[in-house]
Copies of this chain bind each other. A is one copy, B any other.
Amino acid sequence: MSLPHAHSGDVITLKALGAGLPQAISTAIVRTPHLELIRSVLHKGRTVPEHKVEGDLTIQCIEGKLAVQAHGMTTMLLPGELLFLAGGVSHSIAADEDSSALLTLVRVTAK
């Protein structure tokens, strides 16, 4: 399932994948020199190990339940909730349930 990135003016649906979630995979939605949008699918029990990115980011839970570790605490993210993380902040993500989320990342160009 290799989809082309969206172009300016394109509409992207963020609706829950629902019954299709167990078979779904993460997909890149938008990628420009300054902005990246990813529909991230994380199945129950899977984790994104601790890492950091240079730019500011948001994690918006669309469905499921995500546990985000950052700033020395664990934050549970439910559908309709968005977590803001500043660039350079180490974080990890664990899926308590089959989950999908919109990741929005500011791409910081090389200094």
Q: Which A residues are closer than 8 A to B by beta carbons?
A: 6-15, 29-30, 32, 34-35, 37, 55-56, 58, 60, 70-71, 73, 75, 77, 80-87, 89, 102, 104, 106, 108
Q: Which of B10, B83, B104 is in CB contact (< 8 Å) with A9? A: B83
- In Å, the complex CA distance between A6 and B59 comes to 14
Task: State the copy count for this chain.
Answer: 2
Give A82's nearest chain B residue, CB to CB: B12
Where chain A touches its partner, the secondary structure class is: strand
- A73 CB contacts on chain B under 8 angstroms: 9
Q: Do A34 and B80 have beta carbons less than 8 Å apart?
A: no
- A81 CB contacts on chain B under 8 angstroms: 11-14
Q: How far is the CB of A34 from chain B (nearest CB, A)?
A: 5
Give A80's nearest chain B residue, CB to CB: B15
Q: Do B82 and A14 have beta carbons less than 8 Å apart?
A: yes
- In Å, the complex CA distance between A35 and B104 comes to 10
